[in-house]
Structure 1
Amino acid sequence: MSEPRGRRALLGAAALAALARPAAAQAWPDRPLRFIVPVAPGGSVDPLARLIARHLSDALGQPVVVENHAGAGGNIAFEMVARAKPDGHTLLVGWDSLAINPALYPRVGYDPLRDFAPVIQTVRTAQLLVVRPGLPAATLAAFLDLTRRRAVTLGSPGNGSIGHLAAELLKARVGAEWTHIPYKGGGPAMADLIAGHIDAVFLTLPAATEHVRAGRLRALAVTTAARAPALPEVPTLAESGLPGFEVTSWQGLLAPAGTEAAVIRRLNAEVARILALPEVAAQLTAQGFEPVPGPPEALAARLAADVPRWPGVVTLAGARVD
């Protein structure tokens, strides 16, 4: 009799454990969530993070606190989330640099494919080359010619950012020359450009859309295959004499590896719902984003494709960060 009773006890314990797991997932979230943003306030990553955080807080009944941890091309924030407890309360607002940095830096403290659980890709967009209005260059051709005749400073959201890499690709393609000025995010780069402290910036299109429309900056070209609906008058690099030149930027949410699947599914569903809200979709589209919500597997596939792609691009561009 003792053996059956022992088996029954084990089965009972297993059943209780199985019941406890869904209960734990249902209890989430039981405290505020943290959105870790790898750049300084401003630019394009930060405003989108705050927009989603505001709506997600209403949906989950808990505050969603946006924390900016800029530096090292995003690596500080990436490592912070990779090492965080996988309880669904710490999330990374990730973008291209998560996949690019392992090719740019001699060492990074994370693996983009093993250390994160993709939640959802939120948007994609173009990179944009903008110059200060006083610069004597109204077209891409004029700008490139100017770089060969005089010293030009070109800023980016940071070493290893996709804006930096797009600029290096352009430089390698056309033989232009400029001094690269890295910033801790698109916001500080834009502020210095508007103030006239630098000549140009390569950054994500939505960070500059309103400044271009207001005439504070002049846009020369976008990096996508087609023109951006938010700035339809701005030609593509391909139209400007560089056929085949294309760089598309993305943003998304990721959790630490090991986060419960039920939490990932809930987050995915809530953020997809938020992106589909008419007022949110209209705002993002007007800024230059294309909302592209999908399952977690879609962002995982994007990362799996990007990580092996960038080392060859980095080598071609000659970009390297010490």
Structure 2
Amino acid sequence: MLARRSLLALAGATALARPALAQGNAHGGEAWPRERSIRYVVPVAPGGSQDIVARLFARHLTDALGQNVLVENMPGAGSNIGYEHVSRQKPDGYTLLAGSDSLSINRTLFPKLGFDVTGFAPVAQGVRVPQILVVRADSPARTLEDFVALARRGTVAVGTPGNGSLAHLLGEQLQAAAEIRWTHVPYKGGALAVNDLLGGSLQGVMINIGAVADHVRVGRLRGIFVSSAQRTQALPEVPTLAEAGMPGGEAVGWHGIVAPAGTDPAILARVNAALMQVLRKPEVLERIAALGLEPVEAPPEALGRLIQADAERWATVVRQARIQPD
């Protein structure tokens, strides 16, 4: 009888423990992320800087969190296919999204989205992505003033990675400030734009710094300005936009992590803390620097503020320039 009572008591305790364990998984308790691997959705095709950074983060977060972080590329529709997919996932910490500045831009650029691009739970900004205006080494433009003068003569075509990209929006903002117009040539990604610039069919390219840093270092291209508030470690000889003559025009992208809305703050904080550890590793810092990017150590709330501020800023540019997506 005593043994039977003990078994019944044990069974009852086990039954009570099951909901508690489930609750721990759902609310960021110690059980997370023991249950299964973490999906890390990258809303762009493999090969670009956003994908490279996401894979770097995933590899090191696997060690930091003690669970596999598996990258899944889901490109298309200006990243909206991946964004929409993640927005519909259960907010249990087992789906993360490689977010970027397009989260802020797409809200206005695509007015009929089936989800709120600013409604994701912010996790970490990850890295800053400065933009740069580059010209060929034999270009007569050595400064932004020179480049503006060329545009006033109507001889300038500028390539970007696409309509509605951060580079495109920054270019529109610069043209409005300088009261000039150049011919905008959007590409499906930056590599083709850089090739055409090197080939002579463009007079400039606005793009993220990692895509052209090597070309600038070896002298094939010349940097006119970088869009960050301070000069970059990748190309310290290139002046900032303010130094080049346009104060207040800074515009820096980011490659970081967000999660489905409603994900427990304890999980967000744990991933953020793990990524901060990753960003202090010498091999990670070396890889980020080689891409021309800059690590950012900040809490989730800082990313949330950045997404909202950028959404308001770029909405104005998109509307005034009447920008349409590719």
* Smaller-chain TM-score bracket: 0.7 to 0.9
Shift of 1:234: 0.8
Q: CA deviation at 1:124?
A: 1.8
* Aligned residue identity for 1:180: H
- Counterpart secondary structure, 1:276: coil
* TM-score, structure 2 as length reference: 0.82
Describe the shift of the 1:85–1:217 C-alpha distance in structure 2 as closer, same or farther (beyond 3 A). Answer: farther
Find the partner of 2:246 among 235, 242, 248.
242
What is the deviation of 1:170? Answer: 0.9
Check conservation: 2:172, 2:317, Cα contact below 8 A: no
Match of 1:18 in 2: 20
**Which structure 2 residues correspond to residues 141-290 of structure 1 after superposition, within 5 A?**
141-290=145-294
1:52 is aligned to 57
Contact 1:42/1:188, CA 8 A, preserved across alignment: no
Task: Find the residue that maps to 2:41 and give its secondary structure.
Answer: strand
Percent of aligned pairs with the same amino acid: 51
8 Å contact kept, 1:42–1:187: no
1:306 counterpart letter in structure 2: D
Please report the TM-score for the alignment, with normalisation by the length of structure 1: 0.83
Matched, 1:312 2:316: yes
Q: Deviations over 1:179-216 (max 9, x none)?
A: 32323433444344445554322122223222211223
Q: How far apart are residue 268 of structure 1 and its match?
A: 1.7
1:126 corresponds to: 130
Distance 1:39 1:172, change over 3 A: farther
The answer to whether the Cα contact below 8 Å between 1:124 and 1:291 also exists between their aligned partners in 2 is: yes
Q: 1:33 aligns with which of 27, 38, 63?
A: 38
Say if 1:36 and 1:77, in contact at 8 Å, map to a contact too: yes
Paired residue type of 1:254: V
Shift of 1:29: 5.2
Between Structure 1 and Structure 2, how many residues are aligned? 311
Hey, what's the Cα distance between the residues in 2 that align with 1:59 and 1:219? 37
Quote the offset at 1:165 in angstroms. 0.5
Give the AA of the match of 1:119: V
Aligned equivalent of 2:118: 113
**Equivalent-residue separation in structure 2 for 1:45 and 1:68 (angstroms):** 11
2:95 counterpart residue number: 90
Q: 5+ residue gaps in structure 2?
A: 1-12
Q: CA deviation at 1:98?
A: 0.5
Task: State the shift of 1:176 in Å.
Answer: 2.6
Question: How far is the alpha carbon of 1:99 from its aligned partner?
Answer: 0.9
Unaligned runs of 5+ in 1: 1-10
Find the counterpart in structure 2 of residue 104 from structure 1.
109
